[in-house]
Amino acid sequence: MDQYAHNIVQVVIYRWAPTLQYLVLKRSEQDGGWWQPVTGHIETGEDELDALKRGVAEETGIQKLNFISQPIFSYEYDTTEGLGRDNVYMVEVSSSEIVRLEPEEHSEYRWATFDEALGLLKYEGNKKSLQLADQLLAEAR
């Protein structure tokens, strides 16, 4: 049995349009109404890469992923059900990709600059993930 009550893949999605932009999603009001990157539970028998691709497709409608990083960061946190863990990846998509939200889960999305995205995110783990992704992309330029 997995030691984590919540085993999550978190995906920092970015594009060049023509400057660097990050995709952030707003949870529906019944799910808290906060902004976050794509996140999804890793289902039983599913590996992280499959969970990542499924989560991105389900939450954004995006099927074509130009680049998927190795995990860039992992962190643990307490939940009401027990210990949670997020494994963070970076994914590049084309600037022509159209986002189609799952309306039961998210009410809106935004392609944002680093500063805008950072200002929207609620949780420290999401903020640290975005900061690390931005740092890695800056180093690669």
Q: Which CATH number is 87's domain given?
A: 3.90.79.10
pTM of the model: 0.93
Answer yes or no: is 111 within a domain: yes
pLDDT band at residue 1, thresholds of 50, 70 and 90? very low
What type of residue is 32? Answer: G
Answer yes or no: is 1 within a domain: no
Answer yes or no: is 52 within a domain: yes
First and final C-alpha spacing in the chain: 42
Tally of domains in the chain:
1
The residue behind tokens 């307490």 is 78
Cα separation, 6 vs 20, whole angstroms: 31
For 70-92, write each residue's pLDDT tens digit: 999 999 988 888 898 999 999 99
Answer yes or no: is 37 within a domain: yes
Domain range holding 98?
6-140
